[in-house]
Amino acid sequence: MKAFVTGAAGFIGSTLAERLLADGAEVVGIDCFTDYYPRPIKERNISIALKHPQYRFVESRIQDADLPALLNDRTHVFHLAAQAGVRKSWGRDFAIYTVNNIEATQALLEAACGMPGLDRFVYSSSSSVYGDLVAMPMREDALPQPVSPYGVSKLAAEQLCYLYFANFGLPTVSLRYFTVYGPRQRPDMGFHKFLRATILGEPIAVYGDGDQTRDFTFVSDAVSANVAAALRGVPGRVYNIGGGSRVSVNDVLAMIARIAGRQPTITVDPVQKGDMRHTYADTSLAHADLGYAPTVGLEEGLAAEHLWLTGIL
C-alpha cells in the first residue's frame, strides 16, 4: 500500500500513519498545523513516524499543496484533516470550518479523480451528522439532521465524497466516528480534560446533568476501521464506527475515579449549543462489509489514556 494521510499530525491521523507503517505501507502525511491546539502537541504526535524510512511528511494546507504530484503514485487516500470542535463552530468561526472541512475536501477529491491507480479514498466523518432526532441505535440510512455547524460541515464533505463516487467513479468510503478517545486525544476533548483534571486535582466541568450518553470508540479500533475500509469498504457507502456500548458521562466519571484512585471534583456548567444528547452506533453494516468489531472496552481504554497522560503531564 502507498498511502496518503491528511491530518497526519492529529490524534487519529498520526496513530493511523504509525499503524500503516507497521503494516509495511509507504506513507506520505500532510498537515498544516492549524492553531486549534498547540503545535508542539502535534509535533510530538508525528515524532515516531518521522524516524521511519517509509514516511514522508509535508507541511501544507491541502488547497496549497501540489496534489497531483503527491497523489501520483498513491494507492490509498485517508482523509482525516478537518477543523474539529462542535462548540467553536458557531458565528464568524464557521468560515474556518467551510475552508478546512468542505473546500479542502473538494480540492482533494478533485485531484484524486485524476489518479487512475487509486484503490480507495477513505473519508473520516462524524456521528455529529445525525443530530438528536434519530432512533437509537443510529443507522447509516437515518435522515441526518446535524445540530451544530461542525456537523453540517462534516455532512457536506461526506456528501461531496458520495457525489464524486456517483459522477466520476471515485472509490470513496466514509466512516462516521463515534467519540474517539485514547492516547494523543486532543486537549479540548472530554476524556482528556476529565483525566487531566483528575490527575492534577483540579475540578471537572460537566455540561448539564451528566446523563447524556455517548458511544465511545478507542483510537486503535478507529484506526483498524480505516485499514479495513481501505481494503474491503464498498465504494459509495458510509459506515458507523462505534465502540459497542452506550455510556453516560456520569458512568465515565465513576470509571475515572476507579482508574485514578481518587474522586474527581465536579462542577456543573450549562448545556452547550450543538452538543448532541445521545449517540449510539449500529455497526452491523461495518461488521458485515469490513469485519469491524471493537476490541477495546471503555475502562481498559480509559486506563490507557490515563497512563499516557500521566507520562506527559
**Active-site amino acid positions:** 150
How far apart CA 204 and CA 184 sit, in angstroms, is 20
DSSP 92: G
The set of residues, in sequence order, having a beta carbon less than 8 Å from that of 190 and lying 6+ positions away, is 179, 249, 252
CA dist list (Å): 97 to 14, 131, 146: 21, 18, 14
Comparing CA positions, the residue from 21, 29, 27 lying closest to residue 2 is 27
Q: Is 51 helix (H, G, I), strand (E, B) or coil?
A: helix
How many helices (DSSP H) and strands (DSSP E) are in the chain?
11, 13
Q: Pairing relation of β-strands 246-248 and 213-215?
A: antiparallel
Pairing of strands 172-177, 213-215: unpaired
- For 3, list phi and psi in degrees, rounded to 5: -105, 145
**In the block, which residue shows the cell 486549534?**
36
Q: Which of 298, 95, 290 is nearest to 176 (CA)?
A: 290
